[in-house]
């Protein structure tokens, strides 16, 4: 298990109740609120990282749009030759 630190957070009661219902249903692999919240944070951070990477890639494609379009047209023309 990686190094862990204990933190204090404030979370609304409705969210706590939802987590508790989820845990009581035994339909998830997690056994505690902490595990559920850790998993949620990890997925949230992964989503942010993925969105940032996609944004960087969009900027690269926009910057090279003309060149990429020329290359695509040339490739299609080459493949269309008998």
The pTM (predicted TM-score) of the whole model is: 0.70
The reported pLDDT for the residue numbered 2 is: 79
Q: How many residues in the chain?
A: 82
| Residue 36: how many other CB atoms lie within 10 Å | 19
Closest CA relative to residue 75, chosen from 3, 37, 67, 48: 67
42 with 34: CB under 8 angstroms? no
pLDDT above 80 for 1: no
Q: What are the backbone angles phi and psi of residue 38, rounded to the nearest 5°?
A: -60, -45
Average the pLDDT over 18-27 and give the result: 93
The reported pLDDT for the residue numbered 82 is: 78
Whole-number Å distance between alpha carbons of 8 and 34? 11
pLDDT tens, residue by residue, 31-78: 999 999 999 999 999 999 999 999 999 999 999 999 999 999 999 999
């Amino acid at each position: 298990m990686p190094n862990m630190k204990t933190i204090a957070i404030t979370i609304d009661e409705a969210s706590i109740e939802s987590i508790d219902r989820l845990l009581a249903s035994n339909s998830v692999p997690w056994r505690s609120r902490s595990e559920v919240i850790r998993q949620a944070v990890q997925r949230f951070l992964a989503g942010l990282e993925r969105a940032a990477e996609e944004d960087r890639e969009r900027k690269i494609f926009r910057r090279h749009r003309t060149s990429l379009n020329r290359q695509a047209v040339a490739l299609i023309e080459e493949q269309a030759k008998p």
